[in-house]
Structure 1
């Protein structure tokens, strides 16, 4: 019995949607967390540090199960797929923040002090001096974070979202060909991960040439 391609493609579409939306959200939120971590306000720095430490030290599966089962009891009802995206965003944002912060650390302190000396505000320093250099330095690390995000979408199967891993389990239950099913699905994940890696590599080379 052959694989039902319509089910595979539908599940692949769900995986891609979750990955892309969560990637955009985590990049934005993670960058904001990084800004808070280098802020001159101790309260913001402490809050951002606590955020990162919490999410990098709590298993994603535990967060997914907590969100899916606890949020409805708290009166917050959302589609399960949206809940998964939100959890992935806040979880991966912690890793994005760490990656971007490593880029911030590559910016020479003298440049920041010079910018302040000419009267630039904190926001202007971040936007015009720190961010452009920091983001250029962390393209490949961010690519690795996005690959991890792609792989983490498989955990959505544990809460009932029909993405690639969930579809593979269902298909295997029908046709009972685990080697074929999981080799094909594994190859799809590998192809997607390699694509992300290639895109990150090309962006990194283009930025290096531009500099």
Structure 2
């Protein structure tokens, strides 16, 4: 296992880059997913069509295809960027479809009487959703959202394999192919790096879930 200890700085830098990918992708996925969930439950047919199409396209497309489209399709349209930017946005787009469905399930779990009462006092759809429905829906969507975020962290390895560079996957690939290190200890180091991210994330989500349950 000297490979891990001798290359701790590389693993550390890879961990930081992976965390950046996950943080940026997670925030963007939550934002897009919430917007699409609002579209899915909107009374306006065009907005519902947009939300449904978004979920259908990204949830049923392989992540690798989405990443290839971002990196090779967008430049043909004149949109250029780094692999880090394309990979992060691609992961966010893919994850947002699952976030959307998790949030929509929480919205549907809120009793209809809540929205009806809000409309009876003159609140519009946007106000009803943001002030009445979503705060209640969030409590029930924390477990599925947590699962989506954990899956996103693991999917970040595909982003790394795609050629972002500097992340945990790229560190492992560099050590095995460029430096000729044994694959098993290198991969163990990569796996430990992802566990350092996913285990605390899971524990944090468990704490939040218990806090929310008490708040109910």
TM-score interval, normalised by the smaller of the two chains:
over 0.9
Q: Which contiguous aligned blocks of 4+ residues in structure 1 show a shift greater than 6 angstroms?
A: none
Matched ranges for 1:8-157 at <5 A:
8-157=11-160
- Give the equivalent residue in structure 2 for 1:169: 173
Deviation at 1:69, TM superposition (A): 1.3
Range 29-38 or range 63-72, more displaced: 63-72
Deviation at 1:46, TM superposition (A): 0.9
Contact 1:68 1:159 in 2 (8 A): no
Range 58-67 or range 173-182, more displaced: 173-182
Q: How many residues align?
A: 211
Tell me how far apart the structure 2 counterparts of residues 116 and 75 of structure 1 sit (CA, whole Å). 45
SS at match of 1:128: helix
Deviation at 1:197, TM superposition (A): 1.1
Tell me how far apart the structure 2 counterparts of residues 12 and 189 of structure 1 sit (CA, whole Å). 8
Q: Please give the per-residue CA displacement for 1:27-53, whole angstroms capped at 9, x wherever unaligned.
A: 011001000111110000011001101
What is the TM-score with the length of structure 2 in the denominator?
0.94
Tell me how far apart the structure 2 counterparts of residues 2 and 181 of structure 1 sit (CA, whole Å). 7
Deviation at 1:129, TM superposition (A): 1.1
Deviation at 1:2, TM superposition (A): 2.6
Tell me how far apart the structure 1 counterparts of residues 85 and 98 of structure 2 sit (CA, whole Å). 20
What is the TM-score with the length of structure 1 in the denominator?
0.96
- Give the equivalent residue in structure 2 for 1:159: 162
> Can you give the 5+ residue segments of structure 2 that lack an aligned partner in the other structure?
none
Tell me how far apart the structure 1 counterparts of residues 196 and 89 of structure 2 sit (CA, whole Å). 25
1:203 and 2:203 matched? no
- Give the equivalent residue in structure 2 for 1:188: 193
- Give the equivalent residue in structure 1 for 2:3: 2
Contact 2:175 2:186 in 1 (8 A): yes
Tell me how far apart the structure 1 counterparts of residues 169 and 96 of structure 2 sit (CA, whole Å). 23
